[in-house]
Amino acid sequence: MFAMMMCLQKKLHLYRDDRVNGEWNDYGTVTSISDATVTIIGLGDIGLYYAGLAKALGAYVIGVKRRKSDCPKQVDELHLMEDVNEIIPKSDVIVSFLPNTPFTYHLYNAEFFSKMKKSAIFLNGGRGSAVDQDALLSAVQNQDIYAAGLDVTDPEPLPSEHPLWKEKNIMITPHVSGSFHLPETLDKIVEIAAANIENYLTGKALKNIIDFETGYCK
């Protein structure tokens, strides 16, 4: 998701299309992660890792979560979901890592996109159900926002005839940002599982317990 953001900022997706077509075009000015305001909605392990990368490269990072907590070191500002409408207009990049719950369904709709900067990028690496895809397509086509990057869609696989595929400023990958595409992920999962087995046998607290009603860690 981080690579997708930088690709869109530098318009590399457009130049990639030109390579396929054998065209030599200059698409003008680009943006940078440095000094950008990056808002991350969903501050679990993935969101915090993304925040750390963005902050290390000079971004001003805003985190949004459901419950109050201390502000983590990877984040410059921490807000609750009820504050999100105030944050949208000042964000250069909005990244979502939300699960599929009744609360998150179509959270990102026409009203949400209308509050974004026209130069802003929207990224979704959580679940496709959080996005009203028709509203997103319309926002990009009408230049209400600059671009979008999706690793998740609704449904999956996204049908080949779906108009999202045709929009030049929407990048789509087939839900490959997670799972075992990075080999070391399996090692980390095994380490967590092994530690939890040991904790269970010794009566210690387990890690990463999921609340199945909300889809979040307890």
Q: Which residues of the chain have pLDDT under 70?
A: none
Question: Angle CA(7)–CA(65)–CA(133) in degrees, nearest 5?
Answer: 50
Instruction: Summarize pLDDT for 159-207 with one digit per residue, the tens.
Output: 999 999 999 999 999 999 988 899 999 999 999 999 999 999 999 999 9
Which residues are within 8 A (CB) of 93 and not within 5 positions of it... i.e. 6 or more apart? Answer: 5, 36, 37, 38, 39, 59, 120, 121, 122, 123
As annotated, the active-site residues are 127, 156, 175
What is the third-level CATH fold of 2-172?
A: Rossmann fold (3.40.50)
Residues 15 and 28: their CA atoms lie apart, in Å, by: 11
Q: What is the pLDDT of residue 214?
A: 72
Closest CA to 141 of 168, 176, 117: 168
CA–CA dist 128, 130 (Å, integer) = 5
Q: What is the pLDDT of residue 46?
A: 93
For residue 210, the model assigns a pLDDT of 86
Is 175 within 8 Å of 151 (Cβ atoms)?
Answer: yes
pLDDT value for 212: 80
